[in-house]
Amino acid sequence: MATAAEGDGRRPLVAILSGAGISTDSGIPDYRGPNGLWRRDPDAEKLVTYEYYMGDPEIRRRSWQMRRKNRTLMARPNAAHLAIADLERAGTPVRVITQNVDGLHQLAGVPERKVLELHGSARSVECTNCRARGPMADALARVEAGEEDPACLECGGVLKSATVMFGESLDPAVLGEALAIAKASQVFLAVGTSLQVQPAAGLAGVAADHGARLIMVNAEPTPYDHLAAEVVREPIGTALPKLLASFANPSA
């Protein structure tokens, strides 16, 4: 889990809040965007809604088929993910707070302890009864072998993706750590997120209230643009590497 840290005196602590827009270049759809899945097929939202998932075996079967076809596990980091990893390797204090569940920041090379996953990870499964966890790939292999609704191997309970479904609350410990990072940051970038969904959206305001330089990198306007020192509307894959290069060399 990411931990808050102060800048090293020469380089500011850079906090990066990433949303779905940072991963679209990796082939992962933006579910809430103008052409997102939830707008095109509102009924699909039931597949990731806790109440429906737990109460309807057919919803679970459809959910496992959706996961089986999902491109998330096959996706690779794009230029934006790699630029963040490069910034961290260059010695700049970096903490990533992500609304995404794709694990691409870690695959790009950002250390696990510096990435905070607000909504969990699609690369793991957890049991809703005993909370045992395991790789999503293993559960999907069982689906491929014919199990339509694979149960927990430990206790027989219902398995779900280790993500925060609609109707579930964020882990308060994870949210508390995100708030600590936002408060400690000297620079706070919101990248590829509409900042529409609370409480994650409020982190930008918290950072600005505590003196951080707020930078927005998003295709569409957000409710926090008026607080930003800089708003970037260029494509993330080209804009973010250029922007972060200026942080990698503080004397530039």
| 92 contacts 14 by C-beta, under 8 angstroms | yes
| 215 contacts 190 by C-beta, under 8 angstroms | yes
Amino acid of residue 23 = S
Q: Where are the alpha helices (DSSP H) in the chain?
A: 37-40, 50-55, 57-69, 79-89, 104-108, 136-144, 172-184, 202-209, 236-248
At 200 the three-state DSSP class reads coil
Range of the domain at 105: 1-28+77-119+169-252
Options 81, 105, 119, 210, the catalytic residue: 119
| 207 contacts 181 by C-beta, under 8 angstroms | no
pTM: 0.88
| 46 contacts 125 by C-beta, under 8 angstroms | no
Q: Specify whether 188 is located in the same domain as 243.
A: yes
Q: Specify whether 14 is located in the same domain as 82.
A: yes
**Long-range contact pairs involving 31-35 (C-beta distance under 8 Å, separation at least 24):** 32/194, 32/196, 32/197, 33/194, 33/220
pLDDT digits 0-9 by tens, 10-36: 678 999 999 999 999 998 876 555 455
- Sheet containing 213-217, strands listed edge to edge, beginning at the edge strand earlier in sequence: 115-117, 94-98, 14-18, 187-191, 213-217, 230-232
Q: Specify whether 44 is located in the same domain as 141.
A: yes
pLDDT digits 0-9 by tens, 177-223: 999 999 999 999 999 999 888 888 899 999 999 999 999 999 889 99
Classify strands 120-127 and 159-163 as parallel, antiparallel or unpaired.
antiparallel
Exposed (0-12), middle (13-18) or buried (19+): which is 137, by Cβ within 10 Å? exposed
Helices (H) and strands (E) in the chain, counts: 9, 9
pLDDT digits 0-9 by tens, 226-250: 999 999 999 999 999 999 998 766 5
DSSP letter at 198? T
Annotation says 119 is catalytic = yes
The predicted pLDDT at position 51 comes to 95
Q: What is the largest CA-CA distance in the chain?
A: 59
Q: Specify whether 141 is located in the same domain as 184.
A: no
Q: Specify whether 128 is located in the same domain as 42.
A: yes
Q: Specify whether 106 is located in the same domain as 130.
A: no
Q: How many domains does the chain have?
A: 2
The pLDDT of residue 5 is above 60? no
Q: Specify whether 200 is located in the same domain as 227.
A: yes
Sign of CA dihedral 105, 82, 114, 193: negative
Exposed (0-12), middle (13-18) or buried (19+): which is 103, by Cβ within 10 Å? buried
The predicted pLDDT at position 125 comes to 97
